[in-house]
A and B are shown apart, each in its own frame.
Chain A
């Protein structure tokens, strides 16, 4: 079945770049997503990429997709304290049901 995996924790220094990685198993995924969850809140969509794209950039965020390796990454440039959160990778399967499966989330902490 489908599976999405992420490392649980990442710690970076303020001002550095953060790179959060994700692997998935469904080669027929159509969309891949990054969501952000701040403490006590729901998930907010950060960005998403269609499976026929390799890269998407949106201000400080860069998403890279390697379909051959089924690897997705999110790079946050100039990481700030407000970026502290849990980041979820998710995939949408290609089928009539098209359910969206999430990884366990990567908790990003920022060091001064």
Chain B
């Protein structure tokens, strides 16, 4: 059963610390999306990649967030320095050619104190 794997599932950190979230997309999928879910904002698109190249990261605060795909099996989302307002659940989703359907990971719940 193919699935998107995200780590860590839960992370509690202090303000100012660096946070890195990782995503392993489904093997063979060539698009990867990062979303953030909060009670206030719902599900926001942060960034997405096709064939490891960033297509759109306009939803991401550029001063502290960065997203990369070092290889086809790993996508990372980094926050440096983290702030309490970054507390949210971060979802990674991957899609095959055309990305008509996305498969979501279970999410990484981040709490910044």
Contact = CB atoms under 8 A, between A and B. Distances in A.
Interface in B16-75: 33, 35, 41-43, 45, 48, 55-56
Given A42-B91, A99-B56, A104 B104 contact: no
Contacts of B98: 98
A99 B43 contact: no
Contacts of A97: 55-56
B42 A100 contact: no
Given A97-B55, A97-B56, A102-B42, A45 B91 contact: no
B2 interface: no
Interface in B83-113: 91, 93, 98-107
Contacts of A31: 100
Name the prevailing secondary structure of the B interface residues: strand
Contact of A42 (B42, B55, B105): B105
A43 interface: yes
Interface string A28-44: 00010101000001111
A42 B93 CA distance: 9
Contacts of B48: 99
A104 B42 contact: yes
Nearest to B33: A100
A6 B42 CA distance: 11
B99 A105 contact: no
A99 B102 contact: no
Contacts of A24: none
Contacts of A102: 35, 42-43, 45
A98 B56 CA distance: 10
A44 B102 contact: no
A101 interface: yes
Question: Which 9 pairs across A and B sit closest by C-beta, in order of nearness?
Answer: A104-B42, A42-B104, A102-B43, A43-B104, A42-B106, A97-B55, A42-B107, A97-B56, A42-B105
